[in-house]
């Protein structure tokens, strides 16, 4: 390695350490579950996106194994050459029914799904207007296009309207894009007002429902259906990596847009299709969500979320503006948030500490996500630990 390069890497690491941003990866010693082994310690896990507990569901395990026996372990090519198997198309049909759209296109991840949707529709002469707290994969997806970009204040539709007014008539296509549920605060985007503004200004609407698919709306269909906007909303992104329990992402849209993405979406054209086991797992998950068992999992997750949020508030913690199973416990400066997370861990709860620059300087927090798989007793024990550590650190 050239010496100057080595020094550059070391200096970058040193800078992270000085800013308190350097961290080691936590290691799971077993399944992703509500109680699990993290770094050799048995703890209550409040940090996974495994909303419905599907990562270990018996039907999904069976589906993955059967697909390996029938199709092998890999797709063997990109979708556009010879990597499209019948089960890839079956999953896409099922996802379209799940999302109430004409079509869907599945990508390797939610991350690449954003680039797949944005690339083909935005170019020179177009404008994208993005919520300031949108996910990194939306931001990167936008950066890969030549469109002009503007940012509106988080969930502030008056500010969005101001941007739409000030840019009216200057661009060919205008796209408004937002997360459906924001991952740091657990708040929901105001899609009904966004849809109204989009109609008034003839803009295209896109929502990234990574934290809403399997969580909000009937059978977990997402924010668009939650708000009853399926007739007018244009594009939604979903992930298969969070509530669905496996990995992958998709774009739900019109059939015509799907066909355009088949020809132009670079992650679709230049990266290999999912292995059949992943696809079969996702089919089993989407089938499960349509059943009473699936709806019961969603209901249990919401019951758990409401219980946990209310009890945290009763203890005197600041849970911010959350409306979903993502509940932040806001404590202030970065060091305090990290110390809180460490103390919780020592006492038997894993809740990730999150601080500046991911959130505002004075809004350092631990973030909790409860799932359908948590038992009431897990949550009660976690609350006792929150209370104990919170008092010790004089947070409550």
Ligand X SMILES: *Cc1c(COP(=O)(O)O)cnc(C)c1O
Q: Which residues bind ligand X (CB under 6 A)?
A: 109-111, 135, 137, 179, 183, 208, 210-211, 239, 241, 249
CB of 237 to ligand X, least distance (A): 7
CB of 108 to ligand X, least distance (A): 8
Given the residues 211, 274, 309, 363, the one annotated as active site: 211
Which is nearer to ligand X, 96 or 212 (by Cβ)?
A: 212
Residue 336 known to be catalytic: no
Given the residues 225, 242, 274, 309, the one annotated as active site: 242
Nearest C-alpha neighbor of 225 from the set 245, 204, 207, 249: 207
CB of 122 to ligand X, least distance (A): 17
Residue 183 known to be catalytic: yes
Spatial contact of 337 and 354, defined as CB atoms under 8 Å apart: yes
Which is nearer to ligand X, 155 or 241 (by Cβ)?
A: 241
Residue 253 known to be catalytic: no
Which is nearer to ligand X, 113 or 330 (by Cβ)?
A: 113
Which is nearer to ligand X, 110 or 353 (by Cβ)?
A: 110
Structure tokens at 377: 């007793």
Given the residues 47, 130, 137, 183, the one annotated as active site: 183
Nearest C-alpha neighbor of 114 from the set 214, 254, 239, 202: 239
Which is nearer to ligand X, 126 or 179 (by Cβ)?
A: 179
Residue closest to ligand X, measured at CB: 110
CB of 118 to ligand X, least distance (A): 12
CB of 117 to ligand X, least distance (A): 11
Q: Which positions are catalytic?
A: 183, 211, 242
């Amino acid at each position: 390695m050239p010496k100057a390069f080595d020094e550059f890497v070391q200096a970058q690491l040193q800078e992270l350490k000085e800013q308190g941003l350097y961290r080691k990866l936590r290691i799971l010693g077993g399944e992703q579950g509500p109680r699990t082994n993290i770094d050799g310690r048995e703890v209550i896990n409040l940090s996974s996106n495994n909303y419905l507990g599907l990562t270990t569901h018996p039907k999904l395990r069976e589906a993955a194994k059967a697909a390996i026996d029938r199709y092998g372990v890999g797709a063997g090519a990109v979708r556009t050459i010879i990597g499209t198997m019948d089960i890839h198309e079956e999953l896409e049909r099922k996802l379209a029914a799940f999302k109430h759209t004409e079509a869907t296109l599945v990508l390797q991840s939610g991350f690449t799904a954003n680039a797949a949707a944005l690339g083909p529709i935005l170019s020179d002469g177009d404008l994208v207007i993005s919520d300031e707290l949108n996910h990194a994969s939306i931001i990167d997806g936008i950066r890969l296009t030549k469109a002009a970009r503007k940012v509106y204040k988080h969930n502030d539709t008056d500010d969005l309207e101001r941007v739409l007014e000030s840019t009216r008539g200057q661009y060919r296509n205008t796209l408004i894009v937002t997360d459906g549920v924001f991952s740091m605060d657990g708040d929901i985007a105001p899609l009904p007002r966004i849809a109204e503004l989009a109609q008034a200004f003839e803009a295209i609407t896109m929502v990234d429902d990574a934290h809403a698919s399997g969580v909000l709306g009937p059978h977990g269909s997402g924010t668009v259906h939650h708000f009853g906007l399926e007739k007018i909303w244009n594009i939604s992104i979903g992930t298969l990596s969070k509530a669905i329990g496996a990995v992958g992402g998709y774009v739900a849209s019109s059939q015509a847009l799907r066909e355009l993405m088949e020809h132009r979406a670079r992650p679709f054209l230049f990266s290999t299709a999912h292995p059949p086991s992943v696809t079969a797992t996702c089919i089993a998950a989407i089938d499960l969500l349509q059943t009473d068992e699936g709806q019961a999992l969603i209901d249990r997750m919401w019951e758990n979320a409401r219980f946990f949020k209310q009890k945290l508030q009763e203890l005197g913690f600041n849970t911010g503006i959350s409306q979903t199973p993502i509940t932040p416990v806001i404590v202030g400066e970065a060091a305090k948030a990290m110390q809180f997370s460490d103390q919780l861990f020592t006492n038997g709860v894993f809740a990730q500490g999150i601080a500046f620059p991911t959130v505002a300087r004075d809004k350092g927090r631990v973030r909790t996500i409860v799932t359908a798989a948590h038992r009431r007793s897990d949550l009660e024990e976690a609350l006792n630990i929150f209370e104990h550590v919170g008092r010790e650190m004089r947070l409550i």
